C-alpha cells in the first residue's frame, strides 16, 4: 500500500527537466508511504514512489526493476496495493515459464506475469492494485487498476507528457511540468451535487481524470493512454431448484469468503479489523480471528442515541473473542478536522461517514498497520433497502406510459413533506430515470435554487447510461447492483475507504471485493438476495454459523453521523461562517444556501445532506482553488501502543 507517481514524456530531455517536479509530487502524499521513498529516471519516463511496507519489508523496494534472465532490468514497475494470490501465481510462473524472482514480494509477480502472459495477466491478479510498468525495449508503459476500483489512479495529459499518480494533488503539482492549468469543471460540480461524489472517470478539475476500475491501458512517449476494459462485472444469476440446491450455493459463498479472508490476512505486519454492528464487518472479523487469535478490532460512533453502534460492536467483539478499541467523535472534532480531511480527499465527497472513519483509522494506526473491512457486501449480495423498491413500485409498471407521466406531474403539485409525494414521483419514472445509486442529494428543482450555473442537459443518466445498457436483460434488482458497482461503490464507498485510511498510513483490505467472491455472488438469484423480511438473505444463510446471533438479522447502520441535529445546534454558526467566507459566488447562490440552513434550523425541512454537500464543496474550493484555507498537514508519525 503506497503512493506512486509516473511521468511519461515525449523526449528524454523533457524527462530530465521533470524529475524535480516528480520529487515535489511525492511530498504531497508522504502519508501514503512514510516508510521509504525513491525516484528513478529512464529514457522518457520518471517514476517516483512512497512505500508503506507490508510484505517483504526488507526488499521489494520501488521503483522495482525486473527482467527475465536473458533481458535483465527490461521492466520497471510502480505498484500500489496488494496481490493476495501472489504466492500461487509466483509458483505457476516459475513452473510453467521458468520465471526467476529476486525478492519474496508480490510486486515482481505482477511484472513477471505481464512479461510471460501479456495484458491478459491482469485478469489473474486477486487483489487491489494500480500499477505502471515501463518496458524499456518496446518503449511503452502498461498499467491497470483493480476490478472494483479499490486503489485510485489519476492522470492528466499535456503537451509535455502524461502524468499518473495515486492522488490528484500530486497531479496538480505536476501540472506546470505538463504544460497545463487545471480548472474547475462545472459539469463535475453539478454531478457532485446530485450524487454526493464526482463520478469516474471525471474529477473536479476538467483536465485531470481517473483510470476507471477494471481497466488496463498502454501509453507511449508523446501519446495518450489507450484504455481497455478487462473486467465487465457481469452478473449471472442461476436457477436454484429447491432447498438442497440453495444450500449448495450458501456453502459456496461461505467457502469463497473463508478463502478470501485467509488470503487477505497475508502480511509481514499485524492485521486488525474494523467492526461495526452489522454482519459484513462482523463476518470478516470472525473469519480473521481464525488466522490471528490476538486480532484487534476497531469501531467508532457518537454519544447520541440512534447514532452509534459502539455497544453492538462491543458485544460482537466479546462474542468472537477479540480485543476491541473504541473511538467516539464529537461535533467539535468534526468541525475542526473537516478542512484537513477534505485536503486528503482530493475531490469533495459529501458523505459524513468519512469523518468518523478518519478518526477510527487514526486510532487503529496506533495498534496495527493493516485493517480488514466489510465494504462491497451490500453491492454484491443485495444489502441496500432501496433494492426492494422494484417490488413496492411494481403496480406502476402496469400503468400506461402517458398516465404515468401525468402522475409525475401531479406529484410536483403536492407540497413538500406530504406522505406519498415521493412515491408518486418515483413511480412515474422508469428504473433508468429514477435510480442512480444510494445517494440522492439535490433534485433538479432544488439545484436551480443554489446553483448559478445549472445546466438542464447534465443528468445522472450521463453516468448510469452505460451500466444500464450493459444490463438490459437482467432483473431490476440485479441492474441496480450493477449500476452501484460502477457508481456508488467506486465513487463514494471506496474513495472514502482509501483516502481516510491512507491519510493515516493505514492499509485497508476488503475481502468481499475479491474476484472469486464476486464470481459466487454474481450467481445468486434475486429471490435469494431480498425477502420481505430482510436483505442479503443468501449471505445471512451462508454465515449464520460464523457470526453472533445478535447481529445476524440486525439492520446495518454503518457509521451514521448526527449532522441533522448538529446543523441545527452545534454546527449552525460554523456552517454560516463557512458559507459567508467562501469565494464560490460564481458557482453557488450563497443566499440560497443560507436559506437552506435557516429552514433546516427552523425544522420546516431536513436539508442536512444538501447543506453538508455544499459545505464540503466550499471547503474544498477554499483549499484547492482559492488557497484561502491551508490545513496543517501533519508529518506521518506512529508511536505504537503495546
Model confidence pLDDT, tens digit, residues 322-342: 999 999 999 999 999 999 999
Superfamily of domain 2-229: Aminohydrolase, N-terminal nucleophile (Ntn) domain (3.60.20.10)
Tell me, rounded to whole angstroms, the distance of Cα 112 from its chain centroid.
28
- Which residue has better confidence, 403 or 132? 132
Q: Is 216 annotated as a binding-site member?
A: no
Confirm if 517 and 256 have CB atoms less than 8 A apart. Answer: yes
Task: For the beta carbon of residue 638, count every other beta carbon within 10 angstroms.
Answer: 13
* Active-site residue, selected from the candidate residues 2, 163, 256, 524: 2
Whole-number Cα distances in Å, 532 to 6, 385, 387, 528, 536: 51, 10, 11, 11, 11
- Return the closest-CA partner of residue 185 out of 200, 205, 168, 169: 205
Confirm if 328 and 563 have CB atoms less than 8 A apart. Answer: no
| Domain 242-383+486-552: assigned CATH number | 3.40.50.620
Whole-number Cα distances in Å, 191 to 71, 186, 339, 464: 48, 9, 22, 12
Q: Retrieve residue 356's grid coordinates.
A: 468518523
- Return the closest-CA partner of residue 297 out of 306, 310, 151: 310
Confirm if 413 and 419 have CB atoms less than 8 A apart. Answer: no
Mean pLDDT of the chain: 93
pLDDT value at position 14? 84
Confirm if 342 and 628 have CB atoms less than 8 A apart. Answer: no
Cα end-to-end span (Å), the chain: 23
Q: Does residue 301 register a pLDDT over 60?
A: yes
Cβ-based burial of 433 (10 A; exposed 0-12, middle 13-18, buried ≥19) = middle
Tell me, rounded to whole angstroms, the distance of Cα 528 from its chain centroid.
26
Identify the three-state secondary structure at position 34: strand
Q: Which residues contact 633 (CB under 8 A, 6 or more apart)?
A: 31, 340, 343
pLDDT value at position 555? 67
In DSSP terms, which residues pair with 67 in a beta bridge? none
Tell me, rounded to whole angstroms, the distance of Cα 151 from its chain centroid.
8
Instruction: Please provide residue 444's backbone torsions phi and psi, each rounded to the nearest 5 degrees.
Output: -55, -45
Q: Does residue 71 register a pLDDT over 80?
A: yes
Q: Is 373 annotated as a binding-site member?
A: yes
pLDDT digits (tens, 9 = 90+) for 193-246: 999 999 999 999 999 999 999 999 999 999 999 999 999 999 999 999 999 999
Parts of the chain belonging to CATH 3.60.20.10 = 2-229
| Gap between the Cα atoms of 183 and 531, Å rounded | 47
In DSSP terms, which residues pair with 278 in a beta bridge? none
pTM of the model: 0.95
Q: Is 577 annotated as a binding-site member?
A: no
| Gap between the Cα atoms of 549 and 547, Å rounded | 6
Active site residue 28: no
Parts of the chain belonging to CATH 3.40.50.620 = 242-383+486-552
Amino acid at each position: 500500500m503506497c503512493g506512486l507517481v509516473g511521468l511519461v514524456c515525449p523526449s528524454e530531455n523533457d524527462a530530465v527537466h521533470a524529475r524535480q517536479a516528480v520529487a515535489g509530487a511525492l511530498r504531497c502524499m508522504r502519508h501514503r508511504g512514510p516508510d521509504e521513498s525513491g525516484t528513478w529516471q529512464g529514457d522518457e519516463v520518471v517514476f517516483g514512489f512512497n512505500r508503506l511496507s507490508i510484505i517483504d519489508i526488507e526488499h521489494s523496494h520501488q521503483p522495482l526493476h525486473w527482467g527475465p534472465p536473458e533481458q535483465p532490468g527490461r521492466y520497471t514497475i510502480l505498484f500500489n496495493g496488494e496481490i493476495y494470490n501472489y504466492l500461487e501465481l509466483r509458483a505457476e510462473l516459475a513452473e510453467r515459464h521458468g520465471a526467476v524472482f529476486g525478492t519474496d514480494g508480490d510486486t515482481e509477480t505482477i511484472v513477471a506475469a505481464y512479461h510471460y502472459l501479456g495484458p491478459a495477466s491482469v485478469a489473474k491478479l486477486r487483489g487491489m492494485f494500480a500499477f505502471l510498468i515501463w518496458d524499456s525495449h518496446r518503449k511503452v508503459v502498461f498499467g491497470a487498476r483493480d476490478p472494483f476500483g479499490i486503489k485510485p489512479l489519476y492522470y492528466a495529459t499535456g503537451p509535455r507528457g502524461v502524468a499518473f499518480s495515486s492522488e490528484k494533488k500530486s497531479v496538480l503539482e505536476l501540472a506546470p511540468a505538463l504544460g497545463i492549468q487545471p480548472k474547475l469543471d462545472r459539469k463535475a460540480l453539478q454531478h457532485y451535487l446530485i450524487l454526493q461524489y464526482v463520478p469516474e472517470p471525471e474529477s473536479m478539475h476538467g483536465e485531470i481524470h481517473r483510470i476507471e476500475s477494471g481497466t488496463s491501458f498502454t501509453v507511449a512517449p508523446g501519446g495518450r493512454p489507450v484504455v481497455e476494459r478487462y473486467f465487465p462485472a457481469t452478473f449471472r444469476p442461476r436457477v436454484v431448484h429447491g432447498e438442497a440446491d440453495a444450500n449448495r450455493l450458501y456453502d459456496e459463498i461461505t467457502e469463497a469468503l473463508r478463502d478470501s479472508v485467509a488470503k487477505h490476512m497475508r502480511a509481514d505486519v499485524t492485521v486488525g479489523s474494523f467492526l461495526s454492528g452489522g454482519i459484513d464487518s462482523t463476518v470478516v472479523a470472525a473469519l480473521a480471528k481464525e488466522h490471528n487469535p490476538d486480532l484487534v478490532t476497531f469501531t467508532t460512533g457518537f454519544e447520541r442515541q440512534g447514532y452509534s453502534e459502539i455497544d453492538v460492536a462491543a458485544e460482537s467483539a466479546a462474542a468472537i473473542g477479540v480485543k476491541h478499541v473504541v473511538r467516539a467523535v464529537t461535533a467539535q472534532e468534526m468541525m475542526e478536522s473537516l478542512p484537513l480531511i477534505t485536503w486528503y480527499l482530493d475531490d469533495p465527497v459529501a458523505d459524513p461517514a468519512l469523518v468518523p472513519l478518519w478518526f477510527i483509522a487514526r486510532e487503529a494506526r496506533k495498534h496495527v498497520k493493516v485493517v480488514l473491512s466489510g465494504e462491497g457486501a451490500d453491492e454484491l449480495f443485495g444489502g441496500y433497502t432501496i433494492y426492494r423498491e422494484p417490488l413496492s413500485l411494481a403496480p406502476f409498471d402496469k400503468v400506461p406510459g402517458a398516465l404515468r407521466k401525468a402522475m409525475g406531474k401531479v406529484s410536483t403539485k403536492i407540497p413538500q413533506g406530504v406522505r406519498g409525494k415521493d412515491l408518486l414521483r418515483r413511480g412515474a419514472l422508469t428504473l433508468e430515470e429514477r435510480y442512480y445509486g444510494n445517494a440522492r442529494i439535490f433534485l433538479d428543482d432544488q439545484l436551480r435554487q443554489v446553483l448559478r450555473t445549472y445546466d438542464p442537459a447534465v443528468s445522472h443518466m450521463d453516468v448510469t447510461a452505460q451500466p444500464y445498457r450493459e444490463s438490459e436483460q437482467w432483473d431490476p434488482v440485479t441492474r441496480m447492483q450493477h449500476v452501484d458497482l460502477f457508481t456508488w461503490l467506486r465513487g463514494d464507498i471506496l474513495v472514502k475507504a482509501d483516502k481516510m485510511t491512507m491519510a493515516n498510513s493505514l492499509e485497508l483490505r476488503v475481502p468481499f471485493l475479491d474476484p472469486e467472491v464476486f464470481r459466487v455472488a454474481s450467481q445468486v438469484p434475486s429471490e435469494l438476495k431480498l425477502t420481505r423480511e430482510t436483505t442479503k438473505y443468501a449471505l445471512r444463510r451462508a454465515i449464520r454459523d460464523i457470526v453472533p446471533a445478535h447481529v445476524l438479522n440486525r439492520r446495518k447502520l454503518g457509521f451514521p453521523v448526527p449532522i441533522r441535529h448538529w446543523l441545527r445546534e452545534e454546527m449552525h454558526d460554523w456552517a454560516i461562517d463557512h458559507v459567508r467566507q467562501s469565494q464560490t459566488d460564481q458557482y453557488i447562490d450563497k443566499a440560497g444556501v443560507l436559506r437552506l440552513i435557516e429552514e433546516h434550523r427552523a425544522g420546516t425541512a431536513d436539508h442536512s445532506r444538501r447543506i453538508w454537500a455544499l459545505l464540503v464543496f466550499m471547503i474544498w474550493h477554499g483549499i484547492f482553488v482559492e488557497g484561502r484555507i491551508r490545513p496543517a498537514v501533519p508529518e506521518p508519525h506512529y508511536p505504537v501502543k503495546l
